[in-house]
Structure 1
Amino acid sequence: MKILRVIPSIDLKAGGPISGARNIDSELIKNGHTVEVLCLDDPDAKKYALDYPATVHVLPGSKGHYRYNNHIVNWLKENASRFDAVIVNGLWQYHSFAVWRAVSNSGTPYFVFTHGMLDPWFKKAYPLKHLKKWFYWPWAEYRVLRDAKAVFFTSEEERIQSRKSFWLYRCNEVVTPYGTLPPPSEAEKLSSLFLEKHPELANKKIILFLSRIHEKKGCDILIEAFAQTASQNHNYHLVIAGPDQTGWVSELKILAMKLGISEQISWPGMLSGDIKWGAFYASVAYCLPSHQENFGIAVAEALACGKPVLISNKVNIWREIEADQSGFVDDDTVSGTVSNLNKLFALNDNDLETMKSNALKTFQGRFNISNAATELVNTIQGHLHH
């Protein structure tokens, strides 16, 4: 199959959608499919394109947060017929509406991954933004979803939640597996590599948060919950790793200082490659008390490294984690996070080992990208023949 992926940015700092897309694309190519990517990055994004597994077309000149770009519709009209299908990643920026404008009446079908962008949490958290979206919804994103061959949701929970944001809503919903690539296997070596870079963590039991540092992710909740449990557990150390997208880290550090746990928290910034995998392998558990998480690629990565995950029930794969007993799930509150941490601290060695092996099984059975790539192709082909 020949697939065109349209995504606003291929910069990994942009968060989950692009790392998921990269992983799926490398798997599709491995399976003999052709993938090309169209993005609206600045010209200097060509550097991200160099190590992308597929051919990347960068269309510079996008304006504002919406990334309006007057070249994209023409590019799509000229090129879409070369592909069997177009995949749109994400909503609320011009790329999705541009695909609808260029492709909806052509012979090339398009499919949409919403990536949690219809979650009703945004309506509660940003009511003014939601109002602005309502003005835009009926003539743009509503049509984008309505006319797509299928709209992909990466969990049953996401599908259910997505219906609650706008009463004007119609699309062909499909739940499709999602996930990540298996990690490199040299656990000891990678763990040592990470600890060499962060000698203060030697002999510590690490609780890892690895994601964008953003209010949606509940970092403040995690710090407060850790402060309540850390005094009885001096050997535990919190690592909060990830890009600081909104300049929140300085505030979080002040919070940690007020709570008297600055010494028990490290802030290594954004981690990637071997150092990132080393951080997972060096940890006892991964913690994400997020207020809204469509899938949580980093949760799947932690499971792939055999690490129990402590997550909130706003991470949309929480049902799978609970069913497989590969972590602990509670509310996205301080008390919910305290409860998750205390359950982890109370595990004996045997129970911890069982949970680690459950984590690995959850990854292999549910979130291994090779299953997701195969299923994606089958789903697209099934819709092409309708």
Structure 2
Amino acid sequence: MDPKEGGVCQAVRTIIAGLTTRNIYSEVVSLDNAESFFFKADQFTVHALGRGKGPWRYNKRLTPWFVTNLSYFDKVIVHGLWTYMGFSLQKAIKALSSRKEEKIPKVFVMPHGMLDPYFQRAAGRKLKALRNVFYWKFIEHKLINSADGILFTCEEEAALAKLPFKPYQPKKTYITGLGVEHPPAYVDEMRIEFESRCPQLDHAPYLLFLSRINEKKGVDLLLDAYLSIVESVEGNPSSGLAGLLPKLVIAGPDLESEFGKKIQSQVDGHHLLRKSVIFTGMLSGLSKWGAFYGCEAFILPSHQENFGIAVVEALGCAKPVLISNQVNIWREINEDGGCYVFNNTIDGTRKLLESWGQSSYKTKKMMSKNAFYSFTKNFSTIPATARFVDAISNQN
């Protein structure tokens, strides 16, 4: 449930908030330490059993907890794949099945993009991809194919999930979407908090990248494409590209990772990037919303994005989004006119930047309106919660 781990934990919190409005009570069991700071603001019950060991997140307390507590619940939602959590749940259900008096709840799985073929094809993941093949064959297919339903966040995710593994034979699949709560209304404190994190911006216009500093997110593509444009301007001021680009703010955790250090070195090593690219580290609360509300547009040229909560948060702030066609919700946003979308390549990312920079003031204002319209129509919590409840309630 640590926000630094990515969007799944935020999805869990948003889903629970929506279910609470429908008088549906939720509890969470997680493999985190009970004293973790990120639980302090949660209004729901969390059973934190302690950190799991290794990449599988093994925890000997988990299966006994399931055996003791599962019968108290009507539905169980497994969020994510490839960890001990799903295997442990299967073990517990098998143990409970031998006790005729025990009620076994309906089980649903929400993969959150973890069946995307990208993870089997990406360079640098050959060993992990091979591990997944064996894990699927002996363990994970049992969870997917025995669950009462698989819950997908969009049509694209459901289509991609059919590709990488066999046998893939879920009983039922549902497109529930994923709601995101309306951003808080803008207040000046948001701008003040954000500016305190990057005073070197000095009130200049900027594009916002807000995500983990990870190769999957395409931040290296973004820097290469951005640099190619600023170098063109430097070498040929009359090229028509002058004044095209605002500054670039890169916000997110993992700057201390090997990839994060590489990205920072790339910026530090080029005088044109040093003048225009600002790293803020992870933003949250007022500073995060200040970054969203203050930007011209949000950019994420990701190689794989199952949903993209930050993309939707930007839409909720009426900000156009510049995204790759590997962000699975691009079709919904594009249909409403709230984005520019191109391939997840350097050339595609350059086209994102150029398209925005060459857009007229009138076009940008219209895209802002369309962005907010797309948020309310497709991604706010009310319609998403309704779809989620319908899916888990269609089981007798």
User: 2 CA distance for matches of 1:257 and 1:196?
Assistant: 21
Check whether the contact 1:211–1:241 (CA below 8 A) recurs between aligned residues.
Answer: yes
Q: Which residue of 1 aligns with 2:184?
A: 184
Q: How does 1:228-247 map to 2 (within 5 A)?
A: 228-230=228-230, 231=233, 232-233=242-243, 236-244=246-254, 246-247=257-258
Per-residue CA deviations over 1:143-167 (Å, capped at 9, x if unaligned) read: 0001111111111111111111113
Please say which structure displays the higher CA radius of gyration. 2
User: 1 CA distance for matches of 2:76 and 2:27?
Assistant: 10
User: 2 CA distance for matches of 1:240 and 1:375?
Assistant: 34
- State the 1:234 CA deviation: 7.0
**Residue 17 of structure 2 is aligned with which of 23, 26, 34?**
26
Q: Secondary structure at the match of 2:250?
A: strand
User: 2 CA distance for matches of 1:208 and 1:169?
Assistant: 38
In structure 2, relative to structure 1, the CA distance for the partners of 1:363 and 1:13 (3 Å cut) is same
Q: Which residue of 2 aligns with 1:208?
A: 208
**Residue 74 of structure 1 is aligned with which of 56, 64, 77?**
64
**Residue 320 of structure 2 is aligned with which of 308, 315, 327?**
308
Check whether the contact 2:189–2:286 (CA below 8 A) recurs between aligned residues.
Answer: no
Letter in 2 for 1:212: R
User: 2 CA distance for matches of 1:149 and 1:119?
Assistant: 21
Per-residue CA deviations over 1:185-211 (Å, capped at 9, x if unaligned) read: 125542343224422223311110001
Question: Which deviates the most, 244-253 or 200-209?
Answer: 244-253
Q: How does 1:1-386 map to 2 (within 5 A)?
A: 10-45=1-36, 47-60=37-50, 62-103=52-93, 105=97, 107-125=104-122, 126-171=125-170, 172-186=172-186, 188-230=188-230, 231=233, 232-233=242-243, 236-244=246-254, 246-259=257-270, 260-383=272-395, 385=396
- State the 1:43 CA deviation: 4.2
User: 2 CA distance for matches of 1:250 and 1:127?
Assistant: 24
Identical-pair percentage: 38
Question: Which deviates the most, 278-287 or 180-189?
Answer: 180-189
Q: Secondary structure at the match of 1:238?
A: strand
User: 2 CA distance for matches of 1:43 and 1:190?
Assistant: 30
In structure 2, relative to structure 1, the CA distance for the partners of 1:49 and 1:252 (3 Å cut) is same
Check whether the contact 1:103–1:109 (CA below 8 A) recurs between aligned residues.
Answer: no
Check whether the contact 2:303–2:324 (CA below 8 A) recurs between aligned residues.
Answer: yes
Per-residue CA deviations over 1:10-41 (Å, capped at 9, x if unaligned) read: 11111101011111212222332111000011
- State the 1:61 CA deviation: 5.4
- State the 1:346 CA deviation: 1.0
- State the 1:92 CA deviation: 0.5
Check whether the contact 2:214–2:260 (CA below 8 A) recurs between aligned residues.
Answer: no
How many residue pairs were aligned?
374
Check whether the contact 1:187–1:281 (CA below 8 A) recurs between aligned residues.
Answer: no
Q: Secondary structure at the match of 2:163?
A: coil
Letter in 1 for 2:76: V
Question: Which deviates the most, 331-340 or 183-192?
Answer: 183-192
User: 2 CA distance for matches of 1:51 and 1:69?
Assistant: 25
User: 2 CA distance for matches of 1:304 and 1:151?
Assistant: 27
User: 2 CA distance for matches of 1:77 and 1:334?
Assistant: 51
Q: Secondary structure at the match of 1:139?
A: helix
Check whether the contact 1:41–1:58 (CA below 8 A) recurs between aligned residues.
Answer: yes
Check whether the contact 1:221–1:334 (CA below 8 A) recurs between aligned residues.
Answer: yes
User: 1 CA distance for matches of 2:43 and 2:278?
Assistant: 33
Check whether the contact 2:29–2:49 (CA below 8 A) recurs between aligned residues.
Answer: yes
Check whether the contact 2:245–2:353 (CA below 8 A) recurs between aligned residues.
Answer: no
Letter in 2 for 1:293: E
- State the 1:98 CA deviation: 1.2
Letter in 1 for 2:61: H
- State the 1:320 CA deviation: 1.0
Per-residue CA deviations over 1:64-122 (Å, capped at 9, x if unaligned) read: 11111122111111111111100100001100111122236452111011011111111
Question: 5+ residue gaps in structure 2?
Answer: 98-102, 234-241
Check whether the contact 2:226–2:350 (CA below 8 A) recurs between aligned residues.
Answer: yes
Per-residue CA deviations over 1:179-238 (Å, capped at 9, x if unaligned) read: 311011125542343224422223311110001111100111000111122342376110
